[in-house]
Amino acid sequence: MAILKQDTTSIIAAAEKHITSYCADLTSPAFKTSTERAASLSIYFLPTISFFADGAITELSDPSLFVQLISGPLDKIQGLVIEVTGHRVEAVAENSAIIWLTLKIDGIEVSNIYFFRRRIEDGATGFEGGIFDGEMWLLKKLRRD
């Protein structure tokens, strides 16, 4: 049985570029409100996403809801210092990768995992889903839930 070797070079490069840009927007001092930051961060996601938080899986196919989804936790951590301490990208196949992002928020380290994908039909890339338990855990720890 022959094993097909996939070239994952381009998906790794795309995911690296994506997470670097995302982190720049996540930590930029240019945004005055959580809604402004959330609007910028929402463009990094594909039109249909699945996310995992608090033990539940939610799928959204309406990008107009992404800003609200993202701004909620940002509103709660507003005023705290968000610092990106690192990330790691690992290809799963030619068109998908997993990104681990580590943040320090007000001195507490949290991490999130994002699923990054290139869609076959149109070549668009972006986060297709992720585990956003890092912020939920932090909010509970800070009693901001």
In this structure, is residue 100 part of a structural domain? Answer: yes
In this structure, is residue 4 part of a structural domain? Answer: no
Distance CA 14, CA 25 (A): 17
Give the CATH number, domain containing residue 117: 3.10.450.50
Q: What is the mean pLDDT of each run of 10 residues along the chain (145 residues)?
A: 77 97 95 94 92 78 89 84 94 94 89 91 88 67 65
- As for how many domains the chain has, the answer is 1
In this structure, is residue 3 part of a structural domain? Answer: no
In this structure, is residue 1 part of a structural domain? Answer: no
- 34 is in which domain, residue-wise? 9-141
